[in-house]
Structure 1
Amino acid sequence: MSEKTFKAYKHEQGTAYAQVRPVYDKDFYQFIVDSHTSTGGKLDIVLDVGSGPGVAARGLAPHFAHVIGIDASEGMISAARSIGGLTSISEPIRYEISGAEELGSNLDPPIPDAGVDLITAATAAHWFDMSRFWPRAAQVLKPGGSVALWSLSSVQILPATPNHEAIQAALENFRSQELRPYLERGNILARDLYVDLPLPWTLEHPVSDFDQSTFVRKEWKDEGPNSDPDPIGLGTQTVNLEQFEKRFETSSPVTRWREAHPDAVGTERDVVKLLSREVARLLHEAGVEKGKEQITGRVRSVLLMVKKKA
C-alpha cells in the first residue's frame, strides 16, 4: 500500500500534528529497551521509521548513542528538525527523508548494512509495504538486532463520561457513516491492533533472517483486575472538547474528508465540528454545563517485537 496523506504534509501540518498527538510514556520506551537488551541487543544506533515529527525518536534518544528518524514526508521531517532532540551522548538526532521500504538506502551516506541495533515504528507500520520493509530491515539490522512495531486503536468512551454509551454510539456512527469512504487498509490494520500485519514468515517470499521463536505480541486492552499495566501510558485520558477536536483533526480519514470537501473546512459543516456538536449535545443532555464538557476515553495498544538471527 502507498500512504499519500501524511506524505503530502507541509511543515505547518507536521508541526500541528506534533502539538496534539499524545507522547508515549517513558516507561514504555524503557519496556522496549529492556526487551531489546535482555536478549543481547546493544544501545548504539536506533532507526525510527515513519518517524513523523519525531515523537518516538526523541523518546528513545536518552537510551541510544545515535538516533536516526526517517519519514517519507518532507513536511514531517521539517517539523522534526525544527523540534530537534539529543541522544545519550548529546548528539543531535538525525532526521532524513526516506521511506520505510528504502530504510535509508537513498541517503548520503546511506544507512549501513548490519549497522542498526533497533528498528522502531510508532503507529506507522500499517502504512508500510511490509513485503519490502522486512527484507530491507534484515539488511540494515545487526545480527541479534530487534524490530519493535507498535500502534493504537480507536478511542473507547469510558463510563466516567456522562452519557458515555450515547457518545460511543455517536463516534461509531461518525466512523461508519461519515468517514467510511475515507478509510484505507492501514486504518483497518491499526484499528484491529495489527492482527493482519504481514510478518517476515507470512510473506509470499518469507524473510528467513528473523527468528520466529523470538516473536512477541503484547496487547493492552483494558484496565480490569487481570490486565497488565499499560506501559504506553495512553490508556485512560480526559480531554476537553477543543482537545477532542484537535486529536481527530490529525487523523488521516479526516484529512482525506477535508480534501474532498474543501468548502466545508473551518465551517460548521466540517465533519469534526459536526461530531463535536453532537458530543456536546449529549453531554448537556446528561447535565454537563456548557464550557465544562470533558470526555474520558481509553485507547487499546499493541506492541510487536522480533529479533534478527544472531
Structure 2
Amino acid sequence: MSQQFQREKTFSAYSQNQGNAYAQIRRDYHPNVYQTIIDHHTSTGGRLDTLLDVGCGPGLAARALAKHFTHVTGLDPSEGMLATARSLGGTSASSEPIRYEVSTAEELGQDLSRSSIEESSVDLITAANAAHWFDMSRFWLRAAKVLRPGGSVALWNSGEMRAHPSLPNADAIQAAIDEYQDRQLKPYREVGNIMARNRYTDLLLPWNMSHPMSDFDEAAFFRKDWNPEEDFFVGLPEADLGTFEKLLATHSAYTRWAQAHPDIAGTDKDQLKILRKEIERLLRKAGVKEGSEKMKCTVHGTILIVKKI
C-alpha cells in the first residue's frame, strides 16, 4: 500500500512570532491523553529512559511527558517553532533540559550536525497532531532504527471540533461552520488536513506499506478513539468566541487562505470574522445574552500506538 505525501510548508515556515502566537492559543492535551500513552507504553514493556517528540512545534507534548523520562528531545523542521519551544524550556525527570533540534520526521535526527539520534537508543517516539504531515514510509523506516526493542510510537490527533449538542442553536451553528469550511477553506486543504479530519483511519502503518515491515508488531497495535464527552484538551469544550476564533486561525488551511487574501485577512471581510459574527447572531437568537456568547465543542480525538518487536 502506498500513500500520497505532500510536504507541509505552512507550519514549517513559521517565524518565532507566529510560534509564540500558536503556543499562546493552542490548548495542551488533557493529562488523561498523556497518561493513556504512558500506561500503554510501560504495560507493554516500554522503558522510560529516552523520549523523542517529533513535529514538536512549541513543545507542548515534550514538556508534558518530560517528567516521565531521563532524556527528552524535540524535533521540528521549523526554526520559528523551536525558538518558541526553547524559550518555554522544560526539563526531564533527571532535571536535564529538553533538547530542541531542527530535523524532519523522515530523518529523525539523522540530519543533525551534532549528536544525531543513535540507533536503538529511543524508548518512545511521539507525534501530537503532526503525523498527517509525515512521509510515513520514510518515517517508519527510520523509527525502526532508532527505537529500542519494546519501544513504542504514539501518534495522536484531535480530529474535527464540532458544536456540542447542548450548545444553544447547535445545529444552525454547525451548519454555519460547515459552510465556512467547505466554501472558504476547502480549496486550501491539503492531504494532511483531510487525513487529520478522518482521524487517521487512512494513516499508513508499517504492515500496510508496499514492502511491509516486520520490525513492528501488528498484533499489538493499539487504537483509542476518544468519546466526545471525554476531555481531550485542557480548557475545552467551552471557550469564549474570541478564543474560538483564534483557535480556528491557527489551522493551516486558514493560514493558507489568509496568505492568499492579504487584502482582507484580519479585516471585517475576513471569512473567519464573518463566521464568528454569525455564531454570535445564532446564539443571541437562541436567547443567549449579548456579551455572554460562548462556543462549546466536542473533540473526537484518536491515539495510535505501535510497538517495535
TM-score with structure 1 setting the length: 0.95
Give the aligned partner of residue 293 of structure 1.
293
Give the one of 151, 163, 188 matched to 2:194.
188
Q: Contact 2:27/2:235 (CA < 8 Å) preserved in 1? A: no
**1:297 Cα deviation after fit:** 0.9
Distance in 2 (alpha carbons) for counterparts of 1:64 and 1:232: 22
2:47 is matched by which residue type in structure 1? K
Tell me the residue number matched to 2:26: 21
Task: Tell me the distance in 2 between the aligned counterparts of 1:231 and 1:45.
Answer: 27
Shift of 1:259: 0.5
Q: Deviations over 1:87-123 (max 9, x none)?
A: 1111110001100000000111100000000000001
Query: 1:208 and 1:89, CA in 2 relative to 1: closer, same or farther beyond 3 A?
Result: same
Q: Distance in 2 between matches of 1:201 and 1:234?
A: 34
Seen in structure 2, the aligned counterparts of structure 1 residues 231 and 308 have a Cα distance that, compared at 3 Å, is farther
2:121 equivalent to 1:122? no
Amino acid across the alignment from 2:88: I
Which residue of 2 is the match for residue 200 of structure 1? 206
- Deviation beyond 3 Å, 4+ runs, structure 1: 230-236
How many residue pairs were aligned?
303
Residues 231/214 of structure 1: CA separation in 2 closer, same or farther (3 Å cut): farther
Q: Does 1:61 align with 2:66?
A: yes
- 1:149 matched to 2:150? The reply is no
- 1:75 is the counterpart of 2:45: no
CA–CA distance in structure 2, aligned partners of residues 289 and 231 of structure 1: 27
Cα distance, 1:34 vs. partner?
1.2
**Once the two structures are superposed, what CA deviation does each residue of 1:248-297 show, in whole Å capped at 9, x if it has no partner?**
01000000000000011221011211111111111121122221111111
Conserved 8 A contact 1:215-1:307: yes
Rounded to whole Å, the distance in 1 between the matches of 2:204 and 2:284 is: 44
Letter in 2 for 1:194: Y
Encode CA deviations 1:210-242: one digit per residue, 9 max, x unaligned: 11111011111333xxxxxx3634695111110
Taking the aligned partners of 1:68 and 1:231, their CA distance within structure 2 comes to: 27
Secondary structure of the structure 2 residue equivalent to 1:117: strand
Q: If each structure's strand is expressed as a fraction of its own residues, which one has the higher value?
A: 1
Gaps spanning 5+ residues in structure 2: where? 1-5
Cα deviation code 1:36-90 (max 9, x no counterpart): 1111111000000000000000110110011100001111111100111011111
1:74-113 → structure 2 map (5 Å cutoff): 74-107=79-112, 108-113=114-119
CA apart distance, 1:147: 0.4
Q: Which residue of 2 aligns with 1:41?
A: 46
Are the counterparts in 2 of residues 235 and 298 from structure 1 also a CA contact under 8 Å? no
Between 1:89-98 and 1:150-159, the stretch displaced more is 150-159
How big is the alpha-carbon RMSD for the aligned residues of Structure 1 and Structure 2?
Answer: 1.2
Deviation at 1:205, TM superposition (A): 2.1
Aligned to 1:168: 174
- The answer for the alignment partner of 2:164 in structure 1 is 158
TM (norm. structure 2) is 0.95
SS at match of 1:67: strand
Q: Distance in 1 between matches of 2:256 and 2:158?
A: 20
Is the 1:234–1:298 Cα contact (8 Å) retained in structure 2?
no
Q: Does the 8 A contact of 1:126 with 1:186 survive in 2?
A: yes
Matched residue, 2:216: 210
Q: Identify the residue that residue 262 of structure 1 maps to in structure 2.
A: 262
The alignment status of 1:32 with 2:29, answered yes or no, reads no
